[in-house]
């Protein structure tokens, strides 16, 4: 009997002592989570952590810089806090874990979600340090109030899994629907959004992996001119990996259909790729960007810091002869299909040669092709020239306030006429070829020689 009593006493002492001991192990894991969160593009400006025997309370303050609107002005900053109640293990309400973390998002000190809203944001850290963060935001209807529109929120469910060292992370999220509608008829609707991502630490020190974003439907109606936009089945796939010649990355965009004020486009597809990127240079850029994101910098200061980092690593990136590709460009339009591809690579290019046109062209190898309906090319030329003419007339008025500026219809007619002459000139020079209502061109660049549709076009030569 005494042995059993002694055993229970020892077990009780262990269970009472374990939370305090585990508390010292939980804090670095929690701080690591906050650092990972900060790497997602938000600035971690402050962090408080008060550890008790059986748990802890933590508050991390973040800042997101919102871009300026189309009317200009200064970018806005949104400050929010992640407030967490941490229960130390090994025994938690969710089972046997190192810690059970319940979190709440607050903006300006107030909970972002209503008190009666049954939201769950939980992080469970396992005994070995691995863990999972689960988010469950139930569906809700929020009535309009002041400038806030009527909101129908279909909820969000998702989770992020990570190992103890944060060298392997997997995440998924699903949102059935989100609809916002103003009293004046403006609305935005997004349906069936899913996100799946996975990344792991490569031997190079880079986090590499891939992910997929899928949106079944996007609907937008504006107040002015009753503009309507409908997008159906948008899929974005991204992937990065280590190859024998360096890091390669690609992004594929696919669209089933887009309708703008009754005019339909699609299906559409484009795949972008980069390759031969130096992993040590990318690692240095990644580490520098992480450091920049932890600092409280203005947008101008951050821009200068990023430019300095890129310029400092440009020689190492160029040394690998980087490659840029655009594959599988295909867009169905009412006038016909647009198709094309591009491959552009620098070979032996040095940073000092970028400002020297002839030297730069001599170090580039490129191949490109493009085909589109003639009416669409004529429209694009006309719109570009119309914008150019309008800018020229506005500049003339600044010099001479009494000068007359043609009306919109006159400028449009002038642009159509100039565009027609330009296209005729390009056809005469065989820069583009017309056949069966389509305009196409094919070009290659190698050794400083440009070939367009089988004809060699002289390029400026570097001085001897």
pLDDT over threshold 50, residue 137: yes
Residue 108: CA count within 13 A, CB half-sphere: 2
Taking the C-alpha atoms of residue 81 and residue 101, their distance in angstroms, rounded to an integer, is: 15
Q: Tally Cβ neighbours within 10 Å of residue 103.
A: 19
Tens-place pLDDT, residues 241-262 = 999 879 999 999 999 999 988 8
Do residues 158 and 135 lie in contact, with contact meaning Cβ atoms separated by under 8 Å?
A: yes
pLDDT over threshold 60, residue 267: yes
Do residues 408 and 429 lie in contact, with contact meaning Cβ atoms separated by under 8 Å?
A: no
Residue 151: CA count within 13 A, CB half-sphere: 12
Taking the C-alpha atoms of residue 302 and residue 294, their distance in angstroms, rounded to an integer, is: 11
Residue 32 DSSP SS3: helix
Taking the C-alpha atoms of residue 433 and residue 422, their distance in angstroms, rounded to an integer, is: 13
Judge if the upstream peptide bond of residue 397 is cis by omega within 30 degrees of 0. no
**pLDDT-wise least confident of 101-115, 127-141, 249-263, 298-312:** 101-115
Burial class (CB in 10 A: 0-12, 13-18, 19+), 372: buried
Question: Roughly what angle, to the nearest 10 degrees, separates helices 374-399 and 408-428?
Answer: 130
Do residues 221 and 227 lie in contact, with contact meaning Cβ atoms separated by under 8 Å?
A: yes
Q: Which of 9-13, 15-19, 344-348: highest mean pLDDT? A: 344-348
Q: Tally Cβ neighbours within 10 Å of residue 281.
A: 21
Cα angle for residues 159, 164, 167 (degrees, 5° grid)? 80
Collect all residues with Cβ–Cβ distance below 8 Å to 71 and sequence separation of at least 6: none
Residue 123: CA count within 13 A, CB half-sphere: 25
Considering Cα of 254, then 256, then 259, then 264, what sign does the dihedral take?
A: positive
Query: Is residue 109 very low, low, confident or very high in pLDDT (cuts 50, 70, 90)?
Result: low
Taking the C-alpha atoms of residue 328 and residue 331, their distance in angstroms, rounded to an integer, is: 10
DSSP string across 73-134? -PPEEEEEEEEEEEEESSEETTEE-SEEEEEEEEETTEESS-TT---EEEEEE-TTS-EEEE
Collect all residues with Cβ–Cβ distance below 8 Å to 312 and sequence separation of at least 6: none
Residue 327 DSSP SS3: strand
Collect all residues with Cβ–Cβ distance below 8 Å to 64 and sequence separation of at least 6: 41, 42, 43, 77, 78, 80
Residue 183: CA count within 13 A, CB half-sphere: 6
Collect all residues with Cβ–Cβ distance below 8 Å to 19 and sequence separation of at least 6: 53, 54, 55, 88, 89, 90
Q: List the one residue out of 87, 117, 115 whose CA is nearest residue 102.
A: 87
pLDDT top residue among 10 and 89:
89
pLDDT over threshold 60, residue 9: no
Helix, strand and coil percent figures for the chain, each rounded to 5: 30, 45, 25
pLDDT at 4: 33
pLDDT at 111: 56
pLDDT at 359: 87
Do residues 338 and 371 lie in contact, with contact meaning Cβ atoms separated by under 8 Å?
A: yes
Portion of the chain with pLDDT greater than 90, in percent: 37
Do residues 351 and 334 lie in contact, with contact meaning Cβ atoms separated by under 8 Å?
A: no
pLDDT top residue among 106 and 320:
320
Tens-place pLDDT, residues 369-396 = 999 999 999 999 999 999 999 888 888 8
pLDDT top residue among 105 and 311:
311
Question: Roughly what angle, to the nearest 10 degrees, separates helices 299-319 and 279-293?
Answer: 170
Q: How far is CA 62 from CA 34, 86, 102, 162, 287, in A?
A: 10, 19, 18, 22, 19
CA distance from start to end of the chain: 101
């Amino acid at each position: 009997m005494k042995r059993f009593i002694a055993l229970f006493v020892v077990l009780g002492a262990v269970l009472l002592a374990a939370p305090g001991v585990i508390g010292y192990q939980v804090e670095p894991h929690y701080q690591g989570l906050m650092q990972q969160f900060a790497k997602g593009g938000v600035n971690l400006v402050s962090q408080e952590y008060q550890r008790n025997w059986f748990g802890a309370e933590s508050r991390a303050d973040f800042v997101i810089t919102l871009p300026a609107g189309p009317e200009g002005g200064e970018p806005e900053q949104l400050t929010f806090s992640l407030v967490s109640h941490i229960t130390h293990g090994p025994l938690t309400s969710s089972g046997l874990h190192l810690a059970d973390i319940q979190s709440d998002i607050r903006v300006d000190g107030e909970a972002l979600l209503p008190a009666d809203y049954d939201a769950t944001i939980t992080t469970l850290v396992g005994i070995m340090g691995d863990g999972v963060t689960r988010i469950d935001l139930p569906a809700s209807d929020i009535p309009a109030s002041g400038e806030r529109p009527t909101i129908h929120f279909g909820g969000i469910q998702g989770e992020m899994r990570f190992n103890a060292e944060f060298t392997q992370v997997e995440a998924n999220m699903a949102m059935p629907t989100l609809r916002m509608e103003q009293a004046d008829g403006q609305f935005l609707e997004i349906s069936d959004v899913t996100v799946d991502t996975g990344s792991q630490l490569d031997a190079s020190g880079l986090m590499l992996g891939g992910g997929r974003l899928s949106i079944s439907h996007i609907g937008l109606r504006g107040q002015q001119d009753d503009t309507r936009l409908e997008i159906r089945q948008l899929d974005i796939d991204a992937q990065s990996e280590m190859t024998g010649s360096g890091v390669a990355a690609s992004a594929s965009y696919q669209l089933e259909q887009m309708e703008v004020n009754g005019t339909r486009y699609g299906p559409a597809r484009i795949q972008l790729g980069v390759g031969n990127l130096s992993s040590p240079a990318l690692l240095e850029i990644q580490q520098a960007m992480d450091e920049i994101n932890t600092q409280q910098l203005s947008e101008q200061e951050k821009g200068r810091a990023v430019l300095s980092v890129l310029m400092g690593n440009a020689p190492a990136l160029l040394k690998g002869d980087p490659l840029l590709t655009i594959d599988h460009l295909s867009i169905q339009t009412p006038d016909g299909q647009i198709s094309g591809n591009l491959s552009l690579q620098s070979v032996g290019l040095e940073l000092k040669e970028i400002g020297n046109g002839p030297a730069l062209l001599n170090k580039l190898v490129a191949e490109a092709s493009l085909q589109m309906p003639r009416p669409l090319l004529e429209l694009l030329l006309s719109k570009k020239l119309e914008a150019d003419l309008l800018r020229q007339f506005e500049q003339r008025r600044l010099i001479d306030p009494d000068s007359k500026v043609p009306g919109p219809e006159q400028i449009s007619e002038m642009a159509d006429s100039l565009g027609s002459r330009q296209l005729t000139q390009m056809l005469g020079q065989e820069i583009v070829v017309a056949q069966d209502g389509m305009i196409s061109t094919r070009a290659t660049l190698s050794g400083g020689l440009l070939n367009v549709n089988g004809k060699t076009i002289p390029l400026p030569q570097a001085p001897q």
